[in-house]
Amino acid sequence: MLKKRIRGRRNYQPRRFFRLAGNVPAGVCVQLSAYPASFLSFVGLTFNNLFTSFQMTQNTNTTPWRKAFREARSVLLPAIIVAIGFNLFSATGVPWMRTMPQGQAISNDELLGEDTAAVATTPPPTIDTASHDSAAAQHHDSAAAIAAAEKQRVEDSLKAARKAAADSIQKAKTAEAQMKDAENVQKGVVKEITTDQAKMLFDRKKGFWIDARPADLYAQGHIPRAINIFPEELRKHINDLPASDLNTLIVVYCNGGLCELSHELANSLVAMGFTRVVVYTGGEAEWRERGYPMVTK
């Protein structure tokens, strides 16, 4: 009875669609265009093929590996189709090609903002000299002393007014900077600097430089004074960071081009509370290309 049934099935041939999908998986998409089949029928085809395929592989006398390869083909195809469909129609779909995160540019004034602010808050030395002079004049005669006292009072009030103005300007600047930094933390955006700006900072010995590349690339050559922190290893290097001053200017770089490590590290540093983190997007590649100094570990 069984033999008869087998003999009856011997000449069974799967339909043309199934054979195509089962035997020529690489060319399926090309072949698909030759058929008036919709996307849904193609999905149905692959699942049908999956069913047929494991029926077939259960019953062949070929080696286990050959059977496994045949089945794997039929498993892989639906998985790829589902992956594409999921990414197309899901709300959590991701872009097919990942691109570099875009940061904001930063001006030279903003980069060196710390210095200019320090200069602005320093009281002009002439005021002190004048007060010393008027104090000396008080010892000569009373009229002169009264005039000097009046002058001193005016100068003191002027000095206080200047100081108050400078303080309020400084406070406004700080508040603005904090607001911008808060925005940056919220958006996960860090500012970017060009090679010229990076060189300017390097020449002025400004900034705390961090190389975000893997240790072996860092050892092959890096910008002098830069320490190596791979983003995933940030926790291990927390003690190496200038934690005492969160306003320290930190310059992060990696390979340049499509290297995303510097942005990742910069975002982590901003999230930690550092307020002045910039990414040198040109990275090691542009620095080396310009012939700027490099050191090896």
Structure tokens at 148: 């000097």
Closest CA to 229 of 258, 249, 208: 208
In angstroms, what CA-CA distances link 270 with 185, 254, 262?
6, 17, 12
Contact positions with another protein (CB under 8 A) in 110-149: none
Q: What does the alpha-carbon distance between residue 248 and residue 273 come to, in Å, rounded to a whole number? A: 11
Supply the minimum distance, in Å, between the C-beta of residue 44 and another protein: 16
Q: Which is nearer to another protein, 250 or 254 (CB)?
A: 254
Burial group, residue 92, by CB count within 10 angstroms (0-12, 13-18, 19+): exposed
Binding mask 59-98 for another protein (x = CB under 8 A): xxx--xx-xxxxxxxxxx-xxx-xxx-xx----x-xxxxx
Residues facing 191 on adjacent strands? 104, 278
Buried b (16+ CB within 10 A) or exposed e, 166-179: eeeeeeeeeeebee
The span from the CA of 139 to the CA of 50, in Å, is 108
Does 253 participate in binding another protein (rule CB under 8 A)? no
Closest CB to another protein among 177 and 189? 189
> Minimum distance between the CB of residue 69 and another protein, rounded to whole angstroms?
7
Size of interface with another protein, in residues (CB under 8 A) = 57
Quote the tokens at residue 263.
């942005």
Q: In terms of CB distance, is 73 or 191 closer to another protein?
A: 73
Q: Is 232 an interacting residue with respect to another protein (CB under 8 A)?
A: yes
Query: What are 288's two structure tokens?
Result: 């080396």
The single residue among 113, 188, 214, 221 that binds another protein, judged by CB under 8 A, is 214
Beta-bridge partners for 277 = 250
Nearest to another protein of 94, 118 (CB atom): 94
CB of residue 288 to another protein, shortest distance in Å: 18
240 binds another protein (CB under 8 A): no
Q: What is the contact surface with another protein in residues (CB under 8 A)?
A: 2, 6-7, 9-10, 12, 50-51, 53-61, 64-65, 67-76, 78-80, 82-84, 86-87, 92, 94-100, 214-216, 230-233, 236, 258-260, 264
